[in-house]
Amino acid sequence: MSYQPVSPLIVQSLIDIVGSSQVHSSLSKCTAYGQDKTEDLLFLPEVIVLPKTVVQIQQIMRLCSQNQIPVTPRGAGTGLAGGALPVCGGIVLSMECLNQILEIDEANLQVTTEPAVITEVLQEKVQEKGLYYPPDPASRGSSFIGGNVATNSGGPRAVKYGVVKDYVLNLEVVLPNGDLIWTGANTLKNSTGYNLTQLMVGSEGTLGIITKIVLKLIPLPSHSLLMLVPFRSPTKACAAVSAIFQAGITPSCLEFMERAAIDIAANYLQNNTLPIKEEVQAHLIVEVDGNHLDSLYLDCEKINSVLEQFDCGTILLADDQTTKNTLWQLRRNLNPAIKQYSAVKKADTVVPRAALAELLKGIHQISTQHGIRAINYGHAGDGNLHVSLLQEQLPNPIWEQQASSTLQAIFKLVKSLNGTISGEHGIGWIQKKYMPLVFNPVELQLMRAIKKTFDPTSILNPSKIID
């Protein structure tokens, strides 16, 4: 697809729409908006536009569709797959000014929000009303809820409460041609026509621009208990995960962390409050929640008896908020800690839960064969393992080549285990070359046709997900 440059005339038209204070093209701004949290990738946009209203977004899209100018919508720029990178140049459309929670509907347990509300802020605001929005990606302190919807993100609580898609009831969306739609209704059930809502969730800004979001909420559980469980064998830790569910318990979190990941994070946080024994090679974090504390203690006892069968060490039970916070801080900082430690390429592998041990073993075999160290952690309860391939001392050309081959081999393994290549980060820019590993040509063609239906001239977030 060929595009037109953002001419001075177009820039003036953009200024006419949003005002001169909302249009930027300095190198520093272009550099800032030309990257997200994906490796060290940088693609300079020609211009950055910060609309304040939905009508302005419609006008911008009409202008760009008439002039064949690529538009890359951007949330908080916390993505790990390059979904917000303006890889074809053109305009970065930052949603940051649409940042209001519009209504918390306590009677219906719903919230209507603009997309640029920080996830954690939204969670706190509804929590003040005794309500709960469970999806909590590690980046929730900085990511926008709109970006969470665009990537169908998850987080630790997905294992009990589901991912973002399970909370999105209805979306207001500006289509590439500037038309405005609502995808559904503000109802818990809906069998009225094709599910445009779920087609939009996880479409990474390639089908439309999300301008309002109606989310389902649930009553806030009043209690939780957290356990940190050490294992000598990472494989046994993975195997224990399935056994907990088979014992009839659905924890509210079930996280896995390899020893190396914990050490790097503890160092990053300069946290020495968790003395970890030398023989420990992995941890599980297990959380249960609910309204009846007695029942939770019973659940923990049952979980303990399961875990003991997998040769776990002494379990730390965190029932006070300080210890819980320490553990979560550690977990949430794994990604930035590893990124600070070394240049890294990430994979967001996901397999059926019981295949986790086999996946972990395979990842280490493959990466070792390629001379690369892999560090793994993730949402074990969902079979969702985040793989970090570390460059460490490898020279650049070898690193790029070997990392690419390693990812290719890991994704092939994932597919052979009935899994797929992204659980919650999305495909964006960096994973799209691997899509043919998990979809056949007919399936890929169907996705292309859907893209074309929404965006016939491919101006909206072009070159993402699929070519």
Q: Is 11 in the site for a second copy (CB under 8 A)?
A: no
Least spacing, CB of residue 418 vs a second copy, in Å: 4
Question: Interacting stretch for a second copy, rule CB under 8 A, among 70-78, 176-184, 229-237, 271-279?
Answer: 176-184
Question: Interacting stretch for a second copy, rule CB under 8 A, among 32-40, 85-93, 182-190, 307-315?
Answer: 182-190
**Subset of 203-242 contacting a second copy (CB under 8 A):** 203, 207, 218-220, 222, 242
**Subset of 256-285 contacting a second copy (CB under 8 A):** none
Nearer to a second copy, 51 or 419 (CB): 419
Pull the structure tokens for residue 97.
Answer: 């000014």
Pick the binder of a second copy from 21, 26, 40, 193 (CB under 8 A): 193
Q: Is 117 in the site for a second copy (CB under 8 A)?
A: no
For a second copy (CB under 8 A), the number of binding residues is 97
Task: Please give the Cα distance from 139 to 118 (Å, whole number).
Answer: 10
Please write down the HEC assignment for all residues of the chain: CCCCCCCHHHHHHHHHHHCHHHEECCHHHHHHCCCCCCCCCCCCCCEEECCCCHHHHHHHHHHHHHHCCCEEEECCCCCCCCCCCCCCCCEEEECCCCCCEEEEECCCCEEEECCCCEHHHHHHHHHCCCEECCCCCCCCCCCEHHHHHHHCCCCCCHHHHCCHHHCEEEEEEECCCCCEEECCCCCCCCCCCCCHHHHHCCCCCCCCEEEEEEEECEECCCEEEEEEEEECCHHHHHHHHHHHHHCCCCCCEEEEEEHHHHHHHHHHCCCCCCCCCCCCCEEEEEEEEECCHHHHHHHHHHHHHHHHCCCECCCEEECCHHHHHHHHHHHHCHHHHHHHHCCEEEEEEECCHHHHHHHHHHHHHHHHHCCCEEEEEEEHHHCEEEEEEECCCCCHHHHHHHHHHHHHHHHHHHHHCCCECECCCCCCCCCHHHHHHHCCHHHHHHHHHHHHHHCCCCCECCCCCCC
Nearer to a second copy, 110 or 458 (CB): 110
Pick the binder of a second copy from 26, 128, 393, 449 (CB under 8 A): 449
Q: Is 166 in the site for a second copy (CB under 8 A)?
A: yes
Q: Is 292 in the site for a second copy (CB under 8 A)?
A: yes
Nearer to a second copy, 292 or 401 (CB): 292
Least spacing, CB of residue 143 vs a second copy, in Å: 14
Find, among 80, 103, 178, 147, the residue nearest to 422 by Cα.
80
Q: Is 109 in the site for a second copy (CB under 8 A)?
A: yes
Identify whether the C-beta of residue 100 lies closer than 8 Å to the C-beta of residue 117. Answer: yes
Q: Is 370 in the site for a second copy (CB under 8 A)?
A: no
Nearer to a second copy, 187 or 401 (CB): 187
Q: Is 128 in the site for a second copy (CB under 8 A)?
A: no
Nearer to a second copy, 27 or 449 (CB): 449
Nearer to a second copy, 343 or 466 (CB): 466
**Subset of 330-369 contacting a second copy (CB under 8 A):** 348, 350-355
**Subset of 18-57 contacting a second copy (CB under 8 A):** none
Q: Is 382 in the site for a second copy (CB under 8 A)?
A: yes
Q: Is 301 in the site for a second copy (CB under 8 A)?
A: no
Least spacing, CB of residue 176 vs a second copy, in Å: 12
**Subset of 407-436 contacting a second copy (CB under 8 A):** 418-427, 435
Pick the binder of a second copy from 46, 255, 289, 299 (CB under 8 A): 299
Tokens 């445009």 sit on residue:
196
Q: Which residues pair with 223 in a beta bridge?
A: 290
Nearer to a second copy, 389 or 414 (CB): 414
Q: Is 165 in the site for a second copy (CB under 8 A)?
A: yes
Q: Is 179 in the site for a second copy (CB under 8 A)?
A: yes
Nearer to a second copy, 12 or 187 (CB): 187
Nearer to a second copy, 247 or 398 (CB): 247
Nearer to a second copy, 399 or 411 (CB): 411
Identify whether the C-beta of residue 45 lies closer than 8 Å to the C-beta of residue 90. Answer: yes
Nearer to a second copy, 71 or 465 (CB): 465
Q: Is 153 in the site for a second copy (CB under 8 A)?
A: yes
Q: Is 286 in the site for a second copy (CB under 8 A)?
A: no
Q: Is 127 in the site for a second copy (CB under 8 A)?
A: no
Least spacing, CB of residue 399 vs a second copy, in Å: 25
Q: Is 129 exposed, middle or buried (0-12, 13-18, 19+ CB in 10 A)?
A: middle
Task: Please give the Cα distance from 87 to 170 (Å, whole number).
Answer: 29
Find, among 19, 145, 30, 29, the residue nearest to 78 by Cα.
145
Q: Is 295 in the site for a second copy (CB under 8 A)?
A: yes
What are the residues whose beta carbons fall under 8 Å from the beta carbon of 275, sequence distance 6 or more?
none
Nearer to a second copy, 162 or 313 (CB): 162
Question: Interacting stretch for a second copy, rule CB under 8 A, among 23-31, 58-66, 190-198, 265-273?
Answer: 190-198
